[in-house]
């Protein structure tokens, strides 16, 4: 009998794809959501539990009978406590495997970044749950390709310019949301014993701004120029978008020099990771 999977964070770029992959393989899933109508529009066939992070009573009841949990929490400020609470309730209910979307920033020096420290505290809290009855798999993605959809898309469309702080030939690591989701779905369908308490670092490709611009030009069918900007200029842009200071500071320098492709990624993913150009093909209309 296929294990039932409880999903927390199933409507974003990563979660939605993971849910669809599980459904494609006839895995029964239940989504925890604040917006049932949103889930109903995307996945009319799935079970839902309505709830939020202020009261976990619906989750505590709804997660009963599920063997696995996909855990993606976007609330950075409250993340450690939220994840610890959900994981504790999950293990108490008999969940045997948690697959958590963490961050490669965990591997950066202690307290050097807000993002890394937040995810580190969350991972440590789950690991430290007394007498936990299940395994804990942490997926640690590097810089998201989807950052281009909310940070860079407007300047690319309106001005034909990609602005960033890196040197034009400086390698940077990236990962596709499709790769993160597909790998999570694979782990949730493999035997629990296979992955145990594994941690997987997810860097799918390393490319330079010059290479990113070339891919954008090819897929979008338009001229795109790369303009190197100062850290202060990037910080001010992020602040202007409404980003909190600590997050803006992180994104100015996060993963600087972290550009080693994860060699084991194709093994767990079951295919080669997406290139930036392949990823862009899914969103080409956004950039045209």
Q: What is the pairing mode between strands 68-71 and 97-101?
A: parallel
The whole-chain average pLDDT of the chain stands at 96
Average pLDDT for runs of 10 along the chain of length 288: 92 96 96 92 92 96 98 95 98 98 96 96 96 95 96 94 96 98 98 97 97 96 96 96 95 91 97 98 93
pLDDT, tens digit, for every residue of 81-132?
A: 999 999 999 999 999 999 999 999 999 999 999 999 999 999 999 999 998 9
Q: Is residue 181 part of a domain?
A: yes
168: closest CA among 126, 225, 90, 220? 225
Q: Is residue 80 part of a domain?
A: yes
Instruction: Say if residue 101 is in the same domain as residue 123.
Output: yes
Residue 103's domain comprises: 5-142+175-202
* Six token digits for residue 165: 């702080």
Instruction: Say if residue 128 is in the same domain as residue 245.
Output: no
Q: Quote the pLDDT of residue 146.
A: 97
Instruction: Say if residue 168 is in the same domain as residue 66.
Output: no
- CA-CA distance, 70 to 250, in Å (whole number)? 26
Instruction: Say if residue 128 is in the same domain as residue 158.
Output: no
Instruction: Say if residue 119 is in the same domain as residue 169.
Output: no
Q: What is the pTM of this model?
A: 0.96
Q: Is residue 102 part of a domain?
A: yes
Other C-beta atoms lying within 10 Å of the C-beta of residue 284? 13
Provide the strand spans (E) within 124-278.
135-141, 161-164, 172-174, 199-202, 205-207, 225-228
């Amino acid at each position: 009998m296929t294990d039932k999977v409880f999903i927390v964070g199933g409507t974003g770029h990563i979660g939605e794809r993971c849910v669809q992959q599980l459904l494609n393989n006839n895995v029964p899933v239940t989504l925890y959501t604040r917006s049932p109508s949103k889930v109903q529009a995307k996945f009319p066939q799935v079970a839902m539990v309505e709830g939020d992070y202020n009261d976990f009573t619906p989750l505590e009841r709804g997660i009963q009978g599920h063997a696995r949990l996909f855990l993606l929490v976007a609330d950075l400020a409250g993340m450690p406590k939220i994840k610890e609470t959900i994981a504790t309730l999950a293990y108490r209910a008999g969940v045997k495997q948690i697959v958590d979307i963490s961050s490669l920033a965990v591997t950066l020096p202690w307290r050097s970044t807000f993002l890394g420290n937040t995810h580190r505290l969350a991972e440590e809290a789950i690991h430290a749950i007394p007498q936990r009855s299940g395994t804990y798999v942490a997926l640690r993605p590097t810089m998201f390709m989807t950052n281009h959809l909310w940070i860079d898309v407007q300047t690319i469309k309106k001005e034909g310019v990609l602005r960033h702080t890196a040197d034009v030939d400086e390698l940077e690591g990236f990962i596709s949301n499709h790769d993160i989701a597909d790998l999570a779905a694979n782990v949730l369908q493999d035997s629990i014993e296979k992955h145990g308490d594994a941690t997987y670092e997810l860097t799918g490709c390393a490319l330079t701004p010059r290479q990113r611009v070339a891919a954008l030009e090819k897929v979008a069918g338009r001229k795109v120029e790369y303009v190197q900007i100062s850290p202060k200029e990037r910080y001010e842009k992020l602040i202007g978008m409404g980003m909190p200071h600590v997050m803006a500071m992180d994104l100015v320098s996060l993963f600087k020099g972290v550009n080693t492709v994860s060699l084991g990624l194709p093994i767990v993913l079951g295919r080669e990771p997406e290139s930036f150009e392949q990823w862009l093909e899914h969103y080409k209309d956004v950039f045209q």
